[in-house]
Amino acid sequence: MATGTYEGDVYAVQETAVIGSIPNAKLAGGNIYCSVDRTVAATGDGLDLGSTHKVGKLPKGAIVLYSIVYPIATATFDAPDATTGATTATLGISGDANLFGAITTLASATPQIIMPSPDGTTYTNRNKPLQEAVDVIMTTAAVNWTTAEGACVMIFYTM
Amino acid sequence: MATGTYEGDVFTLQDTPVLSTLPRAALGGGVVYCSTDRCIPDGTGLDAASTIHVAKLPKGAVVLYSLVYPIDSATFDAPDAATLAVTGELGITGDTDLFGDIGDINASELPQVVIPKPDGTTYVDRTDPLEDDVDVFITTADEAITTTEGIVVQMFYTVAGKI
């Protein structure tokens, strides 16, 4: 074995700057934007696992850096508040339901930092910009929601 | 029981945009700003219930989250666990924990993600913009701060009406 000297994908682009690398220049210091949204489930609208919550619209070209997700309840005015059941979820788009990552149990009030996890079909690594404007969907799993409980989703991205 | 198909408050506004929703457009992709500050409350009073002013936020700001961690002047603001189990609240006059609770800064030097927790009086959910310019302060609790020790607060926010 031996030591190696590596360069990150973005660093390498910066080291040999050419016209063709400009579109991704924002990865090395672009503005950060945030889409923040909240959603609360209700008995009348359906609570079962497999429910979908649309929690963001991202523009073409967005590169999601990370998301912060935590549970809320209307009774506590969106303060972090653990859900009754151990509901989990995925955060993604139509066609790749966990493109932006997996959300573990929301039965803990601690905010979760969610990282993108492309599946290699359309997006092969985390630096790939969105190819079109998308709706962001949180799909619940594992355990049904409880009424009046939900989640806050903050998606941080560059362009 | 059945599955549901929900839309977040902001998503709904984006899906049916009208003029009156523009002031909150920043929530759907506004620029993120950061207010960062440090303080080492040395000498003039260190007891629990001390206040440490750590930011001024503009009217319209929507705080997304804050990062908070302990420091010591001897280690040049590197994260450094406090000697005593000081806790705190981050907020404003009238709602001293509006921006969240700070856990024991003695237990770990790890940065804490502190999330807003409106109490329903002025601000009823986390997407409500600030109604005035405000001074942000920490109110310490549980233990006295140790001299030469302090805290860093980085507040990340967007501003309603700016995109």
Walk along chain A (159 residues) and give the pLDDT tens digit of each residue: 787 667 777 777 777 777 777 666 666 677 899 999 999 999 989 899 999 999 999 999 999 999 999 999 999 999 999 999 999 999 999 999 999 999 999 999 999 999 999 998 889 888 889 999 999 999 999 999 999 999 999 999 988
In this prediction the pTM is: 0.87
- CATH numbers and ranges of domains, chain A: 1-30 (no CATH), 31-158 (2.60.120)
Residue pair B121/B95 in contact by the 8 Å Cβ criterion: yes
Among B4, B8, B31, the residue with its CB nearest the CB of A38 is B8
CATH class of B31-159: mainly beta
Residue pair A134/A128 in contact by the 8 Å Cβ criterion: no
Of the candidates B42, B11, B39, which has an alpha carbon nearest to the alpha carbon of residue B25?
B11
Return the half-sphere exposure (C-beta side, CA atoms, 13 A cut-off) of residue A104.
8
B28-56 pLDDT, tens digit per residue, is 888 999 998 999 987 788 999 999 999 99
Secondary structure letter of residue B132 according to DSSP: S
- Domain positions in chain B: 31-159
CB contact under 8 A, B6 and A76: no
Closest-CA distance, A119 to chain B, in angstroms, reads 24
CB contact under 8 A, A36 and B27: yes
CB contact under 8 A, A47 and B1: yes
ipTM, two decimals, is: 0.81
Encoded tokens for B108: 């770990």
Name the closest residue on chain B to residue A157, using Cα atoms.
B29
* CA distance linking residue B82 with residue B148, whole number of Å: 10
The H-assigned helical ranges of B3-162 are 9-15
Secondary structure letter of residue B43 according to DSSP: S
CB contact under 8 A, B8 and A78: no
Q: Which residue has the tokens 């660093």?
A: A11
